Structure 1
Amino acid sequence: MYGEDYLRDTEAKRRTAAAGSAGALIAATLIAGAVTAPTASASQGDSRHRTVSEAHGAAIAAARAAKAGINWQDCPPDWGLEQPIKCGWVTVPLDYAKPYGKQIKLAVDRIGHTGTPEERQGALLYNPGGPGGSGLRFPRRVVTGAPVWAKTAKAYDFVGFDPRGVGKSAPISCVDPQEFVKAPKMDPVPDSEADKRAQRKLAREYADGCAERSGEMLPHMTTPNTARDLDVIRAALGEKKLNFLGVSYGTYLGAVYGTLFPTHVRRMVVDSVVNPSREKIWYQANLDQDVAFEGRWKDWQDWVAANDATYHLGTTRDAVQAKWLELRAAAKKSPLGGVVGPAELISFFQSAPYFDSTWASSARVLSAWAAGDTQAVVDAAAPDPSDTAGNASSENGNAVYTAVECADAQWPTSWKKWDRDNTRLHRDHPFMTWSNAWMNLPCATWPAKQRTPVNVKTHKGLPPVLIVQADRDAATPYEGAVELHARFKGSRLITEKNAGSHGVTGLVNSCVNDRVDAYLLTGALDSSDVTCAAHATPKP
């Protein structure tokens, strides 16, 4: 579910390594401006008590942060954030039910608005996706002068943060980063029951490693807790209400925040939406991804075939698929460069279904291999052996992804169900199905408490939310945007038609860009939902 910034940097390595590797609904309660939501526990009474306690703890933590503020300083050199970006820390409880218990520090950064004092409208907080993505690069959009965000930057300070467990913010780990990047990994598509048993063993070992290395954090690595953290950051910034931009998983974080803290929202843009239905979080959502990835993979193949004069891979989708299967078989028989097998190939080529900005580079690699250049594949798809820098590694990102999705919801524990569902899907959607299954299988034997997802819905005081979605998105299928639109009354949905890039608001499409600017700058929304034509098709 990763979003635009994080995915472009680390998604391939994360999935490569990972491939080897109901409680009762409780009536919402308004406490200190926060609407509480249920969590799973042994009994309804225990759940109600924790719900109220966490809401009360969040209010205490926010009040404490508002008083303390943030001591902004030059960013540490090794953070890679140039001036005039400033960095600081916000302290939050590990467990909101115990607000005076153990505290953790969250890394935040900020760049001031570029307009006049009169133009300033506050801070715009950002989450790029994941779970496991760092938002600390967000202020760099101002430093680099990204034109899509120039108007918004005049009115808002751009604020990024590392969510709990991520990067600089009490980072968690599940395996030695050196082990995480070793390649090649086992082919995610099983040839036998023995292959499945081996993958199941890896998943159990990964879950056990999370408990061994990060056990204290695991019960508290939930989206509701990250939403509470977001509210504490809002308070520490001195903002009465939150302005928020969330992409991919960041949309689910926004949806949960809007449910828990409806009166604290000022403006909220959610882009490429996770389906917030309790029935989807998170097992079914991942199965839905597999179907959508196959569709977008075919879109890429159609584009490659249409540009056969450049890539020479065939003039039909089937011909391009045949070349992909040839490459996959060759890597399975003998890993390319000793390190690129089928798992590593999937990790690299999955960027094509994620972003059409990678269509040309993905096609170039496959074309080079077909012409006899094996090194081009190795250079593109081999894991980075230096990607072991502790809290900055893809191992950390994968650990957070797993910890949050496993803790947010009850997962099936029956292997027969996993096997049946993924075997069925793989028949018609083979590109990602088994890879995705093994990545999530640690949740079947997760060693920490699993909650019941928040019942995302409109509560009194929630202002209109702007939803942006491409209708052929692979990572977050379009139905998720429709579902959130129905749950958040008064929201508006902008659909980019016949498009599938994950993360729409960062692309150049004036139909989308102008409406996002208008909403963030003035609160203006169209009187009804809007359909925009797709952004420009990539050129070969």
Structure 2
Amino acid sequence: MKTGDHTQELWGMVNSGNSRFRRTVIIGISILGATAGSVLPASAGAAEQSRHLRPFYEQKIRWSPCSFDREVECASVEVPLDYSRPSGERISVAISRQKAADSKARRGVLFYNPGGPGGSGLTNRYGKSAPKEQFKNTPLNAAYDLIGFDPRGIGKSAPLRCENFDLPNITSRPSDKDFDHFATWAEEFEKSCDKHDGQRRKHFNTPNTARDMNVIRAALDERRINYVGYSYGTYIGTVYGSLFPSRLDRSVLDSSVHPDETGYAHMTSKAEAARGFVEEWAGWAAERDNTFRLGSSVSEVMETVEAVSSRLAENPVDGWDRNTFDAFLGFDAEDVAKWQEMAERVAGLKPAGNGLRIRTVPPAPKAAAAREVIEAATYTILAEGEWPQDIETYREQVRANRDRLPYGFGPMGSLPMPPAFRSFTPPEALTDIERDGYPRGIVVQAKRDSQTPYAGGVAMAKRLGNVLISVDDHQHAQYASRNNRCVDEPVTEYLMQGTLPSKPVSCPAASAG
């Protein structure tokens, strides 16, 4: 399938009645930015010395074969819904364990989280054991018990429920009318979540997930844990280390969030990253003006891009309209390997008299509101971040950014998500991200990953004093995922031997060697 065809198919699915895909898209682009100060409890010692929490830490785990993989054990642990009231309501957190293959070489437990928020740590998208599949080509399963878990609110761990109101049609440059439709959707979605789980939702947050992890650790009778987290999972790992520094040993943060950017700011940062990639491509195209004739400078190429986008807004051609064109630029600019195809596509669509065959692309049908009840922890967890509560703030941002940040899913960086209409008050301040008492680790970051922009990984590595492994790639999640020896070997050596690279590491993309 051609790049343009893929982009059109993607936008068509987003703007269709395919509610499952639309939920996947909105969750996929809503990865939480890091948040920051906690009031419960201040330290691991304070939590573990509480007589009210002792029964949770001392509970016995009853293992049985997992339904999805008989070679992996599954169980559940009980945790307080509200850690400030441990004698109150309890919930169950589902966990899995694949025992270390070499008992003589075993060095402890390795916790795993794939990201989200909303991702299951028990099973992957194919219904297989998530940590087992993630690390099957590494020696980690020889030395570690691999521990997967569904964070609270997700999967088999007291899942939160909302009613599914299908997204309104998404346009690359939202008008005021588009904004109103989206804001209505976001508000109704939040109301439906509140209807199903109400004030319980405020306890489904990252600090409590970290506290749940510490209960799991203690119930496993382990002094410390090791940790590999991806995307939002990097935030869970840093919150755990910040709250329980004496309980964290080796840690790997892959595709890290920024330690100082909260929910809405993180969304905007992703939109800014997408524009940066398009401008980087524009510089490349400008150096090849004799070939593509798009302009001899970044500004000239961007003017050509805007001319094409404006023309397609009025007269779609060959299945391309403004939405598909703007999305195509943002998606493909991340991947250097697609830059030539991008330039050829833009050159082919460049206005040139009557040289293009024009046809009308009918607008996508407006999605009807559904009432299917779905799992929806994502927006509840995102709500712990900083989101302006004045709807006019978002309207102003959309107006300011509609023509500057239209690429990929950039428009979503300005629109109000359900947390903008949050129906509860977070019960505690946000966790100060710091490394105070646990060993240095590794941050792995791709330079052109718009989901977790490179600057976030750089900032996280600096904040924690971790070694940064930079990858000249656009793919989200690198370690044990891309068959890239430059990444996999130093990370695996660190997790197995405890040896950190002596300096920052720069890696090519896997396809580049």
For normalisation by structure 2, the TM-score amounts to 0.75
Specify which of 478, 486, 503 is matched with residue 528 of structure 1: 503
Q: What is the deviation of 1:298? A: 7.3
Specify which of 61, 64, 80 is matched with residue 73 of structure 1: 64
1:136 counterpart = 2:122: yes
Aligned to 1:101: 88
- Structure 1 residues 270, 17: closer, same or farther in 2, change over 3 A? closer
Aligned to 2:379: 402
Rounded to whole Å, the distance in 1 between the matches of 2:118 and 2:134 is 26
- Which structure shows the bigger proportion of residues in helix conformation? 1
Q: What is the deviation of 1:331? A: 13
Rounded to whole Å, the distance in 2 between the matches of 1:400 and 1:196 is 24
1:209-266, Cα deviation, whole Å (9 max, x unpaired):
1111121431112111111111112222222101110100011111111110100001
Rounded to whole Å, the distance in 2 between the matches of 1:59 and 1:90 is 18
Q: How many residues align?
A: 459
1:170-202, Cα deviation, whole Å (9 max, x unpaired):
1112214xx54xx8x323446542332222221
Aligned to 1:293: 274
SS in 1 for 2:510: coil
Rounded to whole Å, the distance in 1 between the matches of 2:40 and 2:83 is 17
Aligned to 2:14: none
1:161 counterpart = 2:149: yes
Give the AA of the match of 1:156: Y
- Structure 1 residues 358, 255: closer, same or farther in 2, change over 3 A? farther
Aligned to 1:117: 103
Rounded to whole Å, the distance in 2 between the matches of 1:485 and 1:28 is 26
- Structure 1 residues 477, 17: closer, same or farther in 2, change over 3 A? closer
- Structure 1 residues 113, 59: closer, same or farther in 2, change over 3 A? farther
SS in 2 for 1:125: strand
1:197 counterpart = 2:172: no
- Structure 1 residues 57, 220: closer, same or farther in 2, change over 3 A? farther
Rounded to whole Å, the distance in 1 between the matches of 2:372 and 2:69 is 20
Rounded to whole Å, the distance in 1 between the matches of 2:316 and 2:162 is 27
Aligned to 1:42: none
Rounded to whole Å, the distance in 2 between the matches of 1:223 and 1:241 is 19
Q: What is the deviation of 1:525? A: 0.6
1:36-67, Cα deviation, whole Å (9 max, x unpaired):
xxxxxxxxxxxxxxxxxxx4698854x43443
Rounded to whole Å, the distance in 2 between the matches of 1:11 and 1:357 is 27
Rounded to whole Å, the distance in 2 between the matches of 1:359 and 1:11 is 25
Specify which of 503, 510, 526 is matched with residue 477 of structure 2: 503
Aligned to 1:175: 163
- Structure 1 vs Structure 2 CA RMSD: 4.7
> Any stretches of 5+ residues in structure 1 without a counterpart?
1-9, 35-54, 305-312, 373-380
SS in 1 for 2:86: coil
- Structure 1 residues 158, 11: closer, same or farther in 2, change over 3 A? farther
Rounded to whole Å, the distance in 2 between the matches of 1:454 and 1:412 is 19
Q: What is the deviation of 1:302? A: 11
Instruction: Check the 8 A contact 1:468/1:495 in 2, yes or no.
Output: yes
- Structure 1 residues 520, 165: closer, same or farther in 2, change over 3 A? same
Rounded to whole Å, the distance in 2 between the matches of 1:203 and 1:232 is 34
- Structure 1 residues 87, 487: closer, same or farther in 2, change over 3 A? same
- Structure 1 residues 482, 341: closer, same or farther in 2, change over 3 A? closer
- Structure 1 residues 444, 12: closer, same or farther in 2, change over 3 A? closer
Instruction: Check the 8 A contact 1:300/1:359 in 2, yes or no.
Output: no
Rounded to whole Å, the distance in 1 between the matches of 2:81 and 2:236 is 18
Deviates more, 1:449-458 or 1:280-289: 449-458
Rounded to whole Å, the distance in 1 between the matches of 2:120 and 2:36 is 33
Q: Give runs of aligned pairs for residues 396-475 of structure 1, distance below 5 A.
A: 396=375, 399-406=376-383, 408-431=384-407, 432-438=409-415, 440-450=416-426, 451-459=428-436, 461-475=437-451
Q: Give runs of aligned pairs for residues 199-278 of structure 1, distance below 5 A.
A: 199-277=182-260
SS in 2 for 1:91: strand
Highest CA radius of gyration, 1 or 2?
A: 2
Give the AA of the match of 1:73: S
Specify which of 515, 518, 523 is matched with residue 493 of structure 2: 518
Percent of aligned pairs with the same amino acid:
30
Instruction: Check the 8 A contact 2:72/2:97 in 1, yes or no.
Output: yes
Instruction: Check the 8 A contact 2:121/2:131 in 1, yes or no.
Output: no
Rounded to whole Å, the distance in 1 between the matches of 2:249 and 2:95 is 20
Rounded to whole Å, the distance in 2 between the matches of 1:152 and 1:286 is 34
SS in 1 for 2:91: strand
Q: What is the deviation of 1:535? A: 2.1
Q: What is the deviation of 1:519? A: 0.7
Rounded to whole Å, the distance in 2 between the matches of 1:146 and 1:358 is 28
> Any stretches of 5+ residues in structure 2 without a counterpart?
1-19, 30-34, 286-291, 296-300, 350-356, 358-363
Deviates more, 1:202-211 or 1:24-33: 24-33
Instruction: Check the 8 A contact 1:133/1:166 in 2, yes or no.
Output: yes
- Structure 1 residues 191, 269: closer, same or farther in 2, change over 3 A? closer
Instruction: Check the 8 A contact 2:441/2:500 in 1, yes or no.
Output: no
Instruction: Check the 8 A contact 2:76/2:92 in 1, yes or no.
Output: yes
For normalisation by structure 1, the TM-score amounts to 0.71
1:283 counterpart = 2:264: yes
